[in-house]
Amino acid sequence: MSAATESVEAEGTTRTGVYVYAVVPSDVEVDREARGVGDPPAPVRLVRHDRVAALVSEIDVERPLGRPDELLAHERLLDATAAEVPVLPIRFGAVVADKAAVVDEFLAPYHDEFDAALRELDGKAEYVVRVRYVEAAVLGEIIRENPEVARLREAIRGTPEDVTRNERLRIGEIINQAIEAKRQADTRTLTEALTPLTAGVNVREPSHELDAANVAVLVETAREAEFVKAVEKAARDWDGRATLRLLGPVAPYDFVTALKPEA
């Protein structure tokens, strides 16, 4: 790594690297207007090797990455790409020394794996289904189902927080556990309903304490309408108790992680 850094340094006054967004088939073209991360946002280019290619842009390696508009730029580029062609998205922040390294160390050694994975993903898209409990509804459920919560609730009623801190911590802990159990059950219900319509399911970690489900699925484009209908039905079943958001199609972030070089 240090050798590579030195060679970049030697190239000029600004130390630049190559930011890598994704692997795509080589028979694609990039809109010349496409912009990626960086300030100002750098033009996105293609580095090809045989049947695969990498979406890249030049980047100043001195400046830290991760401004909100950079995160969004990475995601929008990949999702817009996924809408057109199969794509293997790369996690945010991948920078290599130069374009030669993209070919020599990335595309060439793993050409066949990437090519096979792209073929496998052709005609499929990822969707993310995020369900979040309506707080008042789920708390009402828990109070009705759990006598201890109902009792503790009476105990803290109208008291200041510092006076009933222990009771409050206990009630909060029970509620948290109850939500975890509900989340598990509701996530199972959702995945069971969607699995027959999908080519892959990945249950994600919850990203919010009121999450009821956070699930990524891979769907064949030909079955999209059928899939969306099933999600709409799930949303109707949850109405009032939880809200559901369907994101996608997005790049198949959740379905490329199994691709790893031989150790």
Partner 1 sequence: MTTAVQPAGGGAMARPSSGTLADVIDTILDKGLVIDAFVRVSLVGIEVLTIDARIVVASVDTYLRFAEAVNRLDMSHDKMGLPELVGDMEQGGAKRKAKGALEGAVESAGETLKDLLGDRREPERVSRRGRRPEEE
Candidates 24, 52, 118, 217; binder of partner 1 (CB under 8 A) is 24
Q: How far is CA 256 from CA 82, 234, 253, in A?
A: 13, 27, 6
Q: Closest Cα partner for 150 from 161, 139, 159, 158?
A: 139
Candidates 11, 14, 50, 91; binder of partner 1 (CB under 8 A) is 91
Site stretch for partner 1 (CB under 8 A), options 188-196, 218-226, 246-254 = 246-254
Q: Taking CB under 8 A as the criterion, which residues in 207-226 touch partner 1?
A: 207-209, 211, 214, 216
CA angle 28, 21, 198 (to 5 degrees): 75
User: What's the closest the beta carbon of residue 192 comes to partner 1, in angstroms?
Assistant: 18
DSSP E strands, 145-210: 200-203
Give CA–CA dist 210/30, Å, rounded. 40
Binding flag, residue 67, partner 1 (CB under 8 A): yes
Candidates 40, 161, 222, 225; binder of partner 1 (CB under 8 A) is 161
Interface characters, 182-201, with partner 1 (x: CB under 8 A): --------------------
The pairing of strands 95-96 and 16-25 is: antiparallel
Binding flag, residue 115, partner 1 (CB under 8 A): no
Other Cβ atoms closer than 10 A to 113: 16
Q: For residue 8, what are its two tokens?
A: 């970049």
Site stretch for partner 1 (CB under 8 A), options 184-192, 193-201, 205-213, 219-227 = 205-213
User: What's the closest the beta carbon of residue 124 comes to partner 1, in angstroms?
Assistant: 16
Binding flag, residue 81, partner 1 (CB under 8 A): yes
Candidates 52, 88, 190, 199; binder of partner 1 (CB under 8 A) is 88
Candidates 109, 112, 151, 221; binder of partner 1 (CB under 8 A) is 109
The pairing of strands 52-60 and 95-96 is: unpaired
Binding flag, residue 262, partner 1 (CB under 8 A): no
Q: Cβ closer to partner 1: 159 or 195?
A: 159
Binding flag, residue 206, partner 1 (CB under 8 A): yes
User: Which amino acid makes up residue 177?
Assistant: Q
Rounded CA Rg of the chain: 24
User: Which amino acid makes up residue 248?
Assistant: G
Give CA–CA dist 47/15, Å, rounded. 20
DSSP helix/strand/coil, 199: coil
Candidates 105, 112, 145, 148; binder of partner 1 (CB under 8 A) is 105
